[in-house]
Amino acid sequence: MGTAYRTLVLKYDLQRLPPEAAEKIPTLLKLQEEFRRWTAEWVKSGGALPPPPHNPLKHFGTRLLHGLKVLRWFKGLKKNGIKVEKAEMPLVFDVQLRLNSERDIGKGIFVDMPKKEVRVRKLGGGTLQLPLGRKAEEWILARAKEGGRPVLAAVWIGASRRSRAVKLYVALTFKREAASMKPKRLLAVDVNALHNGLAWAAVEGERIVARGVLRPDASKILHLQKVASRLERICAERDEICDNAVAARKRIWRILRSWEDEAVRRLVQLAIQHRAAIVADVPVDGSVRELKEGNYSPEKKALLNFGRLRRRLKGLAEWHGIPYCEERLYSTVCPRCRRKMEELPNRRVKCICGFEAHRDEVPAMWAAKLYPKLTSFSSSPSSAAPAVRARQPARRAARRLDLRHTARKRAGEQKAVPRHAPSPGRI
């Protein structure tokens, strides 16, 4: 069994709040600032400062100390006081979920499913009642059906990272004890620039059982990118156009986020269907940064953001007890002779040894080649833990593929790929 967490973030536009809820926002802002100051002092003390002596700050401080044992996000607070000083520090609450007619036991956050509302209490006067949307309701019911239960909640007021609009946020964190899967196969996932899609393959031994590619509607996204860029140029001269430019950018991110969520769900479903551990090859930050700062098409740069997809895939795999690790699976290195291959049009690659394939098929072949080592982490007793720990054995196995042997054997024909450097043209 392994412990996994998932968090739902509810967002509320301050200008659209009901009057009775809007009048409590100044109190919430005051409490948030007071709690931020206490947290900054707590960080400076190395965690030795006790919780504030009086409620409601005492309640928030107590729940924060509890959260340090629960959520990864809180674990970085002690290490970096600057982060706390610059962040909109959330108010941390205990939480209760009512699915039917359970008794209200007075927790700070009360999620009332029959009434479709969230109540924020312990603010030092009155209760902040917020509506619960249909999608949020479906998400909560799905997590409860899977055996999850709410363990912590956070509330804060802050600016959106995209539009900079100030909103009220309520985060509900669910916990689940997930039985660890004993995989029989590997699901190799090669994360490319999103317009090229996510290539996946189910691998069993040296046999590739199934494969496919998940792609967003790249033409629609690229069209919106061009529209947004054109509107932003006009915005410098006509202010009334700026809102249209912001709306176009928002629409792009909504499309990408929706596709990422659906792609991750599909990959996890495939892992469950094939009883497979997930091995993902995600581009390293350095190579992505070079592409963004280089001559890469401006319209396609939004398709190089892998961070959220990576976090979602890892988190959802853990939630379902699926072993997960990240490992380099080459797409331009020959799986037969381990040489650097020539890149042809239409994303095909060819080696001088005669091997030729579509580059989306090559990572699966490397997964089959490394199958014994890549599966070693999932068969160990500790596989219930986040499988990122398993990256080192598989990485050492890849390093033991002596690429230098080929270079010495065929010296002068073609330069061999370095052992540690990722191959160029990764995306």
Over residues 281-333, the pLDDT tens digits come to 877 655 556 655 566 666 666 667 777 888 899 999 999 999 998 888 888 89
How far is it, in rounded angstroms, from Cα 261 to Cα 274? 20
Contact 322/268 with Cβ under 8 angstroms?
yes
Average pLDDT, the chain: 78
Amino acid (one-letter) located at 9: V
Q: Which of 52-56, 276-280, 295-299, 308-312 has the highest average model confidence (pLDDT)? A: 276-280
Same domain, 161 and 237: no
The answer on 93 and 51 residing in a single domain is yes
Q: What is the pLDDT of residues 99-128, one digit of tens each?
A: 998 999 999 999 999 999 999 998 877 889
Residues 255 and 220 sit within 8 Å (Cβ to Cβ):
yes
Same domain, 165 and 304: no
Query: Average pLDDT for residues 151-158, to the nearest whole number?
Result: 89
| pTM for the model | 0.76
Q: What is the pLDDT of residue 244?
A: 81
Residue 210: which domain range? 185-409
Q: Are residues 287 and 146 in the same domain?
A: no
Within this chain, do residues 139 and 201 fall inside the same structural domain, yes or no?
Answer: no
Q: How many CA atoms lie within 13 A of 273 on its CB side?
A: 12
Own/partner long-range contacts of 237-246 (Cβ < 8 Å, ≥24 apart): 246/163
Per the domain annotation, does 415 fall within a domain?
no
Per residue in 192-240, pLDDT (tens digit) is 777 788 889 999 988 899 999 998 887 888 888 888 878 877 877 777 7
Q: Are 265 and 164 contained in the same domain?
A: no
Q: Which residues pair with 124 in a beta bridge?
A: none
- Residue 330 or residue 243, greater confidence: 330
425 within domain boundaries: no
For residue 339, is it within any domain?
Answer: yes
Nearest CA to 211 among 192, 233, 186, 235? 186
What band does 411 get if pLDDT is binned at 50, 70 and 90? Answer: very low
Total tally of structural domains belonging to the chain: 2
Q: Are residues 190 and 222 in the same domain?
A: yes
Sequence-ordered alpha helix ranges (H) in 302-402: 307-319, 362-369, 371-374, 391-399
